[in-house]
Amino acid sequence: MYEVLFGKNHIRDGDVISLAEHGRLGGISIGEGYKKTYDMNSSVAEKITKVGDVVYYAMAFPGSLQSEAVWQVKKVDATDPNNVTTTWCDSNIAFDNVATDLTVLTYG
């Protein structure tokens, strides 16, 4: 990160304040000593859609709107009970999907 901010030959694209702000755990400018972490297993917003033997699961932080691109979405296909498969929306586990209609998203 230092090289990106300052380049190889000292300060180039950043400054000492940028390094202090982004090179530690907290946000100095907003008065937080440490960034917050959440236990996603204990407090989540969930949406579950079942179509036959296929179940779509979406989860996000509580209060998230289904139209916001902040959901992690997966599809569990149990059409063949001997070969149940799980695939993720956009082939990744990122919290960057909408949950308005889980059946129309791309899974891989």
What is the DSSP track for 56-103?
EEEEESTT--TTSS-BEEEEEE-SSTTS-EEEEBTTS--S-B--S-GG
Backbone angles phi, psi at 35, to 5 degrees: -70, 150
- Of the chain, the percentage scoring pLDDT greater than 90 comes to 57
> Contact at 8 Å (CB) between 72 and 58?
yes
pLDDT single digits (tens) 18-56 = 555 555 454 445 555 554 555 555 678 999 999 999 999
pLDDT single digits (tens) 61-80 = 999 999 999 999 999 999 99
